[in-house]
Structure 1
Amino acid sequence: MIVKQSTVSNNAYFVIPEDSDDLFTLRRVIEPGDYVIADTTRAVKQEKEYGRPDRGERVKVRLSIKVDRIELDSTVDRLRIAGNITNTDNELVSRGTHHALTVQAGDMITIDKDRKWQEVELKLLRKSGDGSTPFVLVAIDTQEAAVARVTGTHVKVIPNIYSGQSGKRYATSAKGQNLDTFFSDTAKTVASVLGENDRIIIFGPGETRRRFYNALEKNGVPKERARVVDGVDVAGEDGVFVFLRSAQAKEAMGESKLATVSSLLDQVMHMVRKGENRFAMGLKDISAAASAKAVESVVFSDSVFRSADEAEVVKLLNAVEAQGARTYAVDSSTDIGLRVSSLGGMVALLRYALR
């Protein structure tokens, strides 16, 4: 999340969400009564003296709305903010009418609370995205490759790239040429998603992973930002998800959010098997633990918003954050998100057992 205080008001901040984690954060920070300023489009209809109004045309406009509703879209990668228009730079757009903004990663908005921001709100804004190195994963063998980008706890997988190799183990005249083209195509895909601070992790069966690593520089990808990981012998999209569940992922990705969340879930499942009670699952149990100030960390999936009141969930998350607990959002479309969803949508690690 890119955050900068406005020079116009001490109570306003410019923000640019960079991924789905940041949209979760904005859902927790923005509340009814806040003012949100953004560039958007709106349909403007021209009234005719004799006849019905035309269908109108969409015009670009910068407007300010007083928020009365905010919710995450079901796809998680969009945030909907609705309210009445309080100001606009286009005279064709009337003040006082209702408008809904759709905010996605990369969109710039200004949030003005018309009051002093609470410390927990500023903490949420400033820490979103901090300390989380993005990774580009490459699961490759001689037949196929999959490239995925991991930001925070979210995984975006690009469809498989196929080499067109026959699969025969003996040398054929075109085999080396096909493999060079395959490496070039895969490297171009890596370059297309590679961010300024991203690290590259390459894995898969056989020696293809090392051959691809050695071909990076020739194909314009900085080799010093990549490393080869052994022990994951599956390529393609399946290989990406096998890697993310492996011990090699935790070692290679260090203190990334994804590795941290995976470790937290492993701790919880270990406690379940041993019969320890230093965990809580579901909104009701975690709310009780929060009342006792016993929450150490919370992992929640977007699925919890579909089974519980959004405002209640946001209030709970902000309360435990104010108590010093860490909160982690995960996407229910990922493997880790599905694990959290199956445990009630929210899982908490406690400082001490409550029973």
Structure 2
Amino acid sequence: MRIEKKDLRHGILRVRCENLDDLWYLGQVIRPADIVKGKTQRRIKDKDDVKSGGGERKTITLTLRVEGAEYNKDSSSLRVSGIIEDGPLDLVGIGAHHTLNIDSESGITMIKEKWSKTDLSRINDACESTLRPKVLIVVLDDGEATLGLVRESCIDYIEFASNVGGKYDMKGRSSRITKFFDEVAELMAGNVASKNVSTIILAGPGFTKKTFRDHVLGKYPDLGRKCVVEDTGSSGRNGVQEVLKRGAVHKALEKVNSVRDSRLVNDVLVSIGNGTGLAAYGLDDVVSAVGSGAVDVLLVSDRFFFDAREKMEGLISSVRASRGSFHIVNHEEDAGRQLESLGGLAALLRYRIE
């Protein structure tokens, strides 16, 4: 994300989205009663077009009084719905309902009565994450590859399989494996070129990952120099999740939000399982822990945050006042689903509380 205009005295912030993660961040910032200004397309019809169902599509700028905002990962868009407050009067009706579809390259202006510290923090996080190099995890098994691009809000998966043949089908197996390796390398190269990938972690059970690394180093040396090898007991998406929890790769991943969230939620689950008393979950227990100043890290699912935004603003402010930190976790990811099973809210504590 890039800030194009910042006038907090008048509540104005204009930003330019640069990737899908920016839409997830904006979904946490835009709330009912805010003003959002952006471009949209309207189909302009004359009498003949009404009969035929046709019409010319025009790009126009609309200003909405927000009623709701929803990030949809599947459609790669943020849908901001509300009531039109300003726009070309010959094309739209003031007071009518409309939805802006914001994509990963959109520019929008947001106007609030007052920008909270939490909202500004999310905008700053989005701006910083744009510059942060990404990590690509590639889990390989015999003829199968799962690529996981570790983004700030989630992990994007690509799954690829090729029939390389088994031990009873050795004829041509070597050439099929070479072709499979080349196809996986092409997928990797595409991500490196377009997604600012700095590190590629090759993982999986068995020896396939090491054989693949040698192939890449020999044929694609620039790509090979970005690769490190990590052993896992699982293949597929489970192998990707296993890599995320390994201490050996935390240095490469430690600043990526989705990886940090996975580790912190796992710490909560381990603490609960071991009965250490250094974790709290559920609204009542977390509120009590925040009130005692014991919270070191506050974790909230984005869905819980949206549903109880005012209460969460107060809790986050209290955690910050006691020098704790907070993190909003995507409920569509594994860590978010685990957090939702705990009620959507949990905390790691500095000390036990009664």
Give the TM-score, by structure 2 length: 0.81
**CA-to-aligned-CA distance 1:46-95 (integer Å, 9 cap, x gap):** 468xxx88756443222121223334459695433222222325732233
Task: Flag the structure with higher helix content.
Answer: 2
1:103 corresponds to: 102
Letter matched to residue 86 of structure 1: E
1:226 corresponds to: 227
Name the CA distance, whole Å, in 1 between partners of 2:8 and 2:42.
26
Is 1:91–2:85 an aligned residue pair?
no
Name the CA distance, whole Å, in 2 between partners of 1:267 and 1:237.
21
Q: Call closer, same or farther: CA 1:25–1:244 in 2, change over 3 Å.
A: same
CA RMSD between the two structures: 3.5
Shift of 1:149: 0.6
1:187 corresponds to: 185
Q: Call closer, same or farther: CA 1:222–1:26 in 2, change over 3 Å.
A: same
Q: Call closer, same or farther: CA 1:239–1:42 in 2, change over 3 Å.
A: same
Name the CA distance, whole Å, in 1 between partners of 2:160 and 2:114.
49
Count of aligned positions = 347
Equivalent residues in 2 for 1:200-215, closer than 5 Å = 200-215=200-215
Equivalent residues in 2 for 1:164-313, closer than 5 Å = 164-168=163-167, 172-194=170-192, 195-216=195-216, 218-219=219-220, 222-229=223-230, 231-250=231-250, 253-304=253-304, 309-312=307-310
Name the CA distance, whole Å, in 2 between partners of 1:185 and 1:83.
45
Shift of 1:161: 2.6
Shift of 1:201: 0.6
2:136 corresponds to: 136
Q: Aligned to 2:225, what secondary structure does the other structure show?
A: helix
Instruction: Report if aligned partners of 2:18, 2:104 keep a CA contact under 8 Å in 1.
Output: yes
**CA-to-aligned-CA distance 1:15-57 (integer Å, 9 cap, x gap):** 2445665444323322333221112123445468xxx887564
Instruction: Report if aligned partners of 2:35, 2:66 keep a CA contact under 8 Å in 1.
Output: yes
Name the CA distance, whole Å, in 2 between partners of 1:237 and 1:93.
47
Equivalent residues in 2 for 1:318-333, closer than 5 Å = 318-320=316-318, 322-323=320-321, 324-333=323-332
Answer with 285-294 or 340-349: which moved more: 285-294
**CA-to-aligned-CA distance 1:294-323 (integer Å, 9 cap, x gap):** 432222334536xx8344465356535753
Q: Unpaired runs of 5+ in structure 1?
A: none
Give identity over the alignment, percent.
Answer: 26
Q: Aligned to 2:64, what secondary structure does the other structure show?
A: strand
Equivalent residues in 2 for 1:5-20, closer than 5 Å = 5-6=5-6, 11-17=11-17
2:121 corresponds to: 123
Q: Aligned to 2:31, what secondary structure does the other structure show?
A: coil
Give the TM-score, by structure 1 length: 0.81
Q: Unpaired runs of 5+ in structure 2?
A: none
